[in-house]
Amino acid sequence: MAHLITGNKFDPNKDIPDLRGKVYVVTGGTAGIGFGITAHLLQHNASKIILLSQKEEHAEEAKEELKKYGDSSRVHWVQCDLKDLKQTNEVAKQLKSEQQIDGLICNAGEGVGKYNVTVDGLDSHFQVNHLSQMLLALTLLTNLQLNPHSRLVLQSSDLHRAPLSSTTFTSVDEINTDLGPNSLYARTKLAQILFVRALVRRMENNEPGFQSPKYNGPWINATHPGGVNTDQQEQAVEAYGTKGKLGVKAVRPFLKDPVDEGCRPALFAATSEDVAKEGIQGQYIVPDRKVTEPSKQARDEELGENLWRLSEQILQEKLGSLPYRQEL
């Protein structure tokens, strides 16, 4: 339910509470929407922000730009290539040693781009947007559970409504079928919402390994940023050539700024006290803070369980053992 006073508005400059003493992990936090999320966390006094991204030079550029928003010494970069499950696993285990994590914001993602296969032999869209961030989320779940009203946020998209009706999430062959740039991206945005809902089901059912010592967190939600002007549009140009270039040129004037507007739903989900007050759990939040029903596919529990089983099967095969399984 939208707040009676603010309606659907959430202004990160005014509506984020003081975050002093809180620690956040942000994937893809050095550019675009992720940079906007980081900037506002810093602006509102988060004590520590851990950025996960692939390129050190981008992190250094981001930290320099972040000086406009606060003390950038509170921002720490960790190199993490989400296209490499073993490296992502090592980073996840490293972060697990953090005594406190108040929020994990899984913002990193591949856009509407060409089909590529990772070093793990998987479609890069699926691995980056869903699988690696599922690994991070489940590894750090116990850290989140120990902190009152902690948050887990998955950056999805309204394009989750576009996957093919034939999507079943039952085999690696299905995942590695080139559906074309738009459908590859859309399928992973669907996966993110299905994962959120499946994880919340496990917590609400008090399943072993998912029980919170006190059921006051984490609050787990998926968000849609709206149309935002980021580097992801360049992936569409690469994928679709002249057609993509013309399409991007036509829509770019209408796209939101990632720092001023594009980060609002994720920041609402990650910081607002209204999330806990209103019991917003396992939901899909669109700009700025509106809880909206996702697609029929995204509400399909059987499809969500298929995704969970397949994801765990792949992680088990690639990693040998799962770091979060010791909690189950």
**Beta pairing, strands 75-79 & 48-53:** parallel
Residue pair 105/27 in contact (Cβ under 8 Å)? The answer is yes
Residue pair 196/221 in contact (Cβ under 8 Å)? The answer is yes
- What's the distance, CA 295 to chain centroid? 18
Q: Tell me if residue 69 is catalytic.
A: no
Listed residue (282, 313, 62, 15) closest to 154, CA to CA: 282
**Beta pairing, strands 290-292 & 151-155:** unpaired
Amino acid at 113: G
Longest Cα–Cα distance in the chain: 55
Q: Which of 24, 185, 284, 324 is catalytic?
A: 185
d(CA 219, CA 101): 13
Residue pair 169/192 in contact (Cβ under 8 Å)? The answer is no
d(CA 130, CA 123): 11
Q: What is the DSSP letter of 55?
A: -
Q: Tell me if residue 185 is catalytic.
A: yes
Length, in residues, of the chain:
328
Give the 3-state secondary structure of residue 203.
helix
Question: What residues contact 79, with CB distance under 8 A and at least 6 apart?
Answer: 52, 53, 54, 56, 91
d(CA 219, CA 68): 30
Q: Which of 48, 83, 189, 290 is catalytic?
A: 189
Which positions are catalytic?
185, 189
